Structures are given as C-alpha cells and as structure tokens.
Structure 1
Amino acid sequence: MKFIKGKKVFYSGEYLQEMTINNQWRAFADHCVNEVDLALGFDYIDHPNYLRFPIWLLFFIHPQASFKDIKQKIELINNPAYRLNIKKTAFTCLISRHDTNGIRRKIVNGFNEVDIITCAGKFMNNSDELINLEKQLPRNYKKGEFSFDVFYTLKKDYLKKFKFNICAENASSRGYISEKLFDAIESGCIPIYWGGGDKKEFVEPDIINPDAFLYYEEGKEDELIEQVKKLNSDKKEYESFMSIPPFQGTAAEAIWTMLQEFENRLKNL
C-alpha cells in the first residue's frame, strides 16, 4: 500500500476486532488510518482520516438517491399500511451462510418450539425455495455469477412472506450494524435482532426506532420466546407492533447528512 501512488482509501463493512469471522482481518482493526488518506467503516474511531460509514448505507440507499427519494422511502416504510398490507404466509426466516459465534443456532433452536424456522441459506438449510429462485436469476456470462443487485432484490422479496426475520450479526459491537436489520424492516418483517452492542446503547439513534424490533439477549430467551408466541398468535398484538414506525422522524435527515459528509470527504481528497 505504501508504494501505491495517488490518494488511498480504506473501507471495510465487516467487523475487524476480536472474534471476527476471519482472524486475518484483525490486522486491519485500526482501519489503516495512518496509511491512507480516508478510512471508512462502521466503527467509532477518533482520527482526522476516518469517517464512520456503516455498510447498511450501501444496501439501503441507492447511490443516486436525492434527499427527497430518501424521505419518501422512509415515509413509505413508516406507514403501517405498507407493512400490514404485505401478505404473510410463513412464520420466521433465517438467511445465513455461517454461524461463527453460535448465536444464530441458539436463536433458531429456541424459536423452533414456537413454529418451524425456515432456514433458506446454507446454514441449517431446510428449504430449497430461495436456492431454486436464485438458479433462475440472469448470470454474468464471463464468471457464471448472477448480479448481486438482482439477488439482493430477490432476497428482500422473499423475506416479505415471513412475519419475522432472524437477523443476527456476525458479532455484537457498538456501531456494527449491517444491512440485515434494514432488510427485515424494508421487507415488512418484525426483526429478531442481535448485534450493535447493548440495545440500551444501540447506535443510529436518529435513524432506527428501537421499539420496532425484538432484541435477542442471552439469558432472556424465555421472555423473548413468549413475546414472539403472543405476536404470532394474537392478531391485535401483531398489528399493534407492526404499527410502530421503524424509523425515527429524523431518519431521512440523518442519512442525508451521512451521505453528504461522505461526498464532501471524497471531494476534499
């Protein structure tokens, strides 16, 4: 990296500290702030070369979106009619390739006593439905791979059939919030979430309403399972929970500010 001419930018959307899913990534835990002109990540680092830019921004917001586009999207999702009018035909889904820390398996095993969890990814797979849909996607003729944008749209459309979505992160640390929580919200699911550190210190306070999702805490599984049972069986309770706006009233402005700061930092390079 030191021998590359020109401006240098480091970016990671993954967790790079202890308990990372790849131990080699720990070498970049400081986000190379002293070696690059701009470092980006989810973490909180006090350094003039660093800007917090969590990965969910890349998934939730179109690169060419205007402030008006963002505000309209937030208002649409916050409208209870949007979420309640999505027809739900199944209980809960988990889409994951792995479970490095064992949290996802614990959540699935716990909620299987309520109803069968559909595991549509490689981890604990018990359904070929999503895999078969993937096979129908258009592919890149050179690499034999399908477009990630197309797959991502397919994933969110698939989630719409489920009342709940288990969306546990690879690690739980303050600031580490990926696209998983946002996918569940946009798809009209009630997120069963783990990550981002302690819920009481949950970041993105100007964006996400913490009352609009369920938070998994080890040692409090029974309480959470009872809550899910009630929401799953009681229509009024379910509709009441789904009427809670998942985004704060300041969400559009907060997101726009993050994007504008990112754009300004790039221009200043």
Structure 2
Amino acid sequence: MIRLWFDDFWGAFDPTNNFFTHTLDLFGFRYKLTRLWPDVLICSSFGDRKKKFTCRKLFYTGENVKPNESQCDFSISFQPTTERNLRLPVYLYHAWYQSRGLGLPEGVDSMLQILLDRVKGPRFSEPRDRFCSFIFGNGKPKRRNEFFHALQAYKPVDSAGKWMNNTGYTVENKIKFLRYYKFNIAFENESSPGYTTEKILDPLLSGSIPIYWGNPDVAEDFSPDSYINSMDYSSDEEVVEVIKAIDQNDDLFRQYQQAACFVNNVPTPYWQLERLCAFYANVLGRPGS
C-alpha cells in the first residue's frame, strides 16, 4: 500500500476527496493518506512546501505553468504527453467537479454524454432570450477586456463575475446560468499551445456558443464547428460581424448550437481515463499492489 499525500494545492482543495482520490479509487489503487514520510507526493504550484519532501513527486497543474522536471519525477499538465508527463487538460478535472454541481453521477462520463448528445438538439429548454455573458474574476487579461468592450458596442453583454460586474449579482452555477444565453465570451487568461481550460467547456455543456481565444491548437480538443474561434480572424471587428450574423439568423445559431463537439462526434483520447490509470501505474505501481 502506497503512502500518499497532497501539498501546494489551492486553498479549498480537500486531500481526502478530490479528482485524484476519486480516480485512484475508481481504478483500484490502494493507498494511505499521510503527511508523514509519504512514498508519493502529489503537488501543485500554489507554494513551495514540495521542496521539503524527498519522496517521489507527481506535479499537477491546471494553470499555464510548465512542469519543472528538476523538481518532480512525473507531471500531469497541458504539455504534450511524454514518458514523464501526461497531457490531461484541466477541463477534465472541471468536468468531474461540475458533475456534482449538476446533481449528476460523479465522474466525467455524464458530462461527456451531454457533449455527445448536443447533435440531438438542446438539452435545456430555457429560452435563449439573452445575448452574451462574460463571467470572470481576473481582470488582468487585457485581450479579454478589449473584446468585451468591442462586443458591447453591438449589444449589451452581461458581466456576472466579480470583474466588471454589471448585473448586480454573481453566478453560483455557471452552467445553469449560461442556459439562457446565446453566446459566452470564453477567453483564456493567457494564450499558450495546449492550454485549454473549462472556459470553453462550460458554454458547450450549457448550449451557449463559446467565443474562444487562447490555445492556438484548441481544435485538437474540440471541433471548430462548435464554437467561434476569434483567433481565426484578423480583428475584433471581424469577430463581432460573425457574431452578428449568427445572432440574427436562427438557423445559423442552431447549426452552431447543435454541432458535434468532437470531429465525427467521437471524443478525443483525453476523455479516456484509462490513460490516467496507466500513468498512475508508472507513478504508484500496479493497481491493488
């Protein structure tokens, strides 16, 4: 049985109940949680306590932070898969978390099914009588702020996050909130190859059309037919014109809304958690041992 511990995660992280413990249990790995002389430390980027541990280290990041191979033995990140790193986009961690908020079975399968079922028509019956939403707490990304103002020149955009809030309230459940909106500004904090987060996943799950900026290789994660990729255009004005055309044409809107999220509606390998099981085996040993 492996002695396991977590450190340097975000403040609300629960070491006893999280994506890692859920998937370790799912695959039958035997472990004991203890901060005293662990065999393996699963750590993240929110601190430096990891440096005090001399055991094997598995670094996880959902941020735009590249793993430092001199400080960890293995990593799970947005970087390409290698012998020591597994590309597991943070939107998968988020899908597991969101399944709880929607009252669905814990895991990613129920969220994946929502994405696959989009081609059958809208999952949610709420009227799409609101134009576009903008839900962010981080006001630093200049690119995102610029686009918000560019789109505002066409129609009012509802900002329901802490940053530039104009609704008078903040959102408790983003997916439920987006059910009423035709579009959602889904700009990442930063642009980096491979770095795709939940910002595009949430509107896809809700039936709102994502207006995306961020990972230049996002088409490897989701079919380009299912969102507006602002990086395909030379200016914000061009993007706004595309949005106008969709907004003013119900058939075109439904075409985007019901487009398959994956090419030929076949999920990418990233949704196959068996990849994670095999990677865990490299770090921890075989399940059940």
State the SS of the aligned residue for 2:70. coil
Deviations 1:211-240 (A, max 9, x none): 211122474222211111121122222223
1:77-88 mapped onto 2 (5 Å cutoff): 77-82=118-123, 85-88=125-128
Q: Distance in 1 between matches of 2:201 and 2:218?
A: 14
> Corresponding residue for 2:262?
247
Q: After alignment, is 69-78 or 99-108 more displaced?
A: 69-78
In the alignment, structure 2 segments of 5+ residues that lack a partner are 1-49, 100-104, 285-289
Deviations 1:63-95 (A, max 9, x none): 95486x566333223323436x44212100000
The one of the two structures with greater contact order (alpha-carbon pairs below 8 A, sep at least 6) is: 1
Mapped contact 1:78–1:247 kept (Cα < 8 A) = no
> Corresponding residue for 1:225?
240
Q: After alignment, is 109-118 or 56-65 more displaced?
A: 56-65
In percent, how many aligned pairs have the same letter?
Answer: 26
Equivalent of 1:194 in 213, 217, 224: 213
State the SS of the aligned residue for 2:207. coil
Equivalent of 2:70 in 12, 31, 34: 34
Deviations 1:183-209 (A, max 9, x none): 010011010010102xxxx2452x411
Q: Give how far 1:125 is off.
A: 0.9
Mapped contact 1:54–1:177 kept (Cα < 8 A) = yes
1:97-246 mapped onto 2 (5 Å cutoff): 97-130=137-170, 134=172, 154-197=173-216, 202-203=217-218, 205=220, 207-217=221-231, 219-246=234-261
Q: Distance in 1 between matches of 2:256 and 2:57?
A: 46
Per the normalisation by structure 2, the TM-score is 0.70
Mapped contact 1:92–1:164 kept (Cα < 8 A) = yes
Q: Distance in 1 between matches of 2:111 and 2:163?
A: 33
Per the normalisation by structure 1, the TM-score is 0.75
Q: CA 1:127/1:183 → structure 2, altered by over 3 Å: closer, same or farther? A: same
State the SS of the aligned residue for 2:212. strand
Q: Give how far 1:252 is off.
A: 3.3
Mapped contact 2:89–2:270 kept (Cα < 8 A) = no
Q: Distance in 2 between matches of 1:262 and 1:115?
A: 43
> Corresponding residue for 1:15?
64
Deviations 1:149-193 (A, max 9, x none): xxxxx1110111110000100111110000010001001101001
Q: Distance in 2 between matches of 1:240 and 1:73?
A: 17
Q: Distance in 1 between matches of 2:57 and 2:147?
A: 41
State the SS of the aligned residue for 2:148. helix
State the SS of the aligned residue for 1:164. strand
> Corresponding residue for 1:59?
94
Mapped contact 1:99–1:170 kept (Cα < 8 A) = no
Q: Give how far 1:32 is off.
A: 2.5
Q: CA 1:129/1:89 → structure 2, altered by over 3 Å: closer, same or farther? A: farther
Q: Give how far 1:101 is off.
A: 3.0
